[in-house]
Amino acid sequence: MKAVILAGGFGKRLRPLTDQIPKPMIEVRDLPIIEWQVKWLSSFGIKEFIICVGYLKEHIINHIGSGSRLGVKVGYAVEEEPLGTGGALKNAEGLLSGQKEFFMVNGDILTNLDPGMLRDGGNAHALALVPLRSPFGVVEVKGSQVLGFVEKPRITDKWINAGVYHFTSDVFSYLPENGNIEVTALPALAKEGRLNAAKYDSVFWRSIDSHKDIEEAAKEMQAAGLS
C-alpha cells in the first residue's frame, strides 16, 4: 500500500526558515521532518510513497530522491501552483491508479502512531485523532487555594485531527481541483456518515507550526526514545 505525503505548502509561519527551504525540510534532531515521516511509515511496512511537492520542491526531491537510500520507492506529484490539501491529493490521482486504498499524511507532523488502526479492513475513510494539547499551562485550584501547575496538559476529552488519514479510491470524487480537504471532502464524507475516526490517546504526536515547536518536538522525541 502507498502513502501520500503533502509537502507543497509555503510554511509562512516558520519564516525566515522557510524562505530558503520548504517546511518539510526543517530539521528536528538533525533530520528533516519528511525523512522522519518516511522512516516512521516504513517501520509499519509502508514502502511506496508519493510526495506532493510545490514550493521549493527541488530541496525535497534532491534529498529524498528515489527513496532507495531509505529502502523505499518514491514518486512525486508536482503542483505548478498552490492547490490546497484537497487539490494536491487530486493532483496525485494518476500516481494512485489501481490503489484501492492508501494513507495520506500532512507534511508537518511528527508521530509514532500506528496507521494500520485506521484501515478497518481497508474499506473505510478514516482520520487519526489525538487529544487536544493546551497551548497554556494550567493552574490547579481548590476554592481559592492554588494546588499546583501543569505545563500544557493534554485535554483528554477533546480530540483534534492528527493529519493522518486512510482513504479508499472513491475519495477522489469528493476532492476539489483547488481547495483544502478539511473544508471540502472531509465534511462531505462526515455528512454522509462515511468518515471514521481512530483515537490515539497514548502516542507521541507533534505538529510543527512555529519556531518554538521545533525545539519542543526535539526534546519530546528524545524523551520518547524516537531515533
Taking only the tens place, the pLDDT of each residue in 62-110 is 999 999 999 999 999 999 999 999 999 999 999 999 899 999 999 999 9
Catalytic residue among 73, 100, 152, 199: 152
pTM summary value: 0.90
Question: Which 3 state secondary structure label does DSSP give 110?
Answer: strand
Distances in whole angstroms, Cα of residue 162 to Cα of each of 7, 72, 112, 193: 16, 24, 11, 20
Q: How many domains does the chain have?
A: 1
Kindly state whether residue 151 falls inside one of the protein's structural domains: no
Q: Return the CATH number at 206.
A: 3.90.550.10
To the query of whether residue 152 is one of the catalytic residues in this protein, the response is yes
Q: Report if residue 144 sits inside a domain.
A: no
The answer to whether residue 154 is domain-embedded is no
Domain contains 52 = yes
Asked if the structure places residue 213 within a domain, the reply is: yes
In a domain, 149, yes or no: no
Please compute, for residue 109, the number of CA atoms within 13 A of its CA located in the half-sphere on the CB side.
22
45 vs 37: CA distance, rounded Å:
13
56 domain residue, yes or no? yes
CA atoms within 13 A on the CB side of 162: 30
What are 199-213's pLDDT values in tens digits?
998 899 999 988 888
Domain region containing 46: 2-130+159-223
Whether 207 is covered by a domain: the verdict is yes
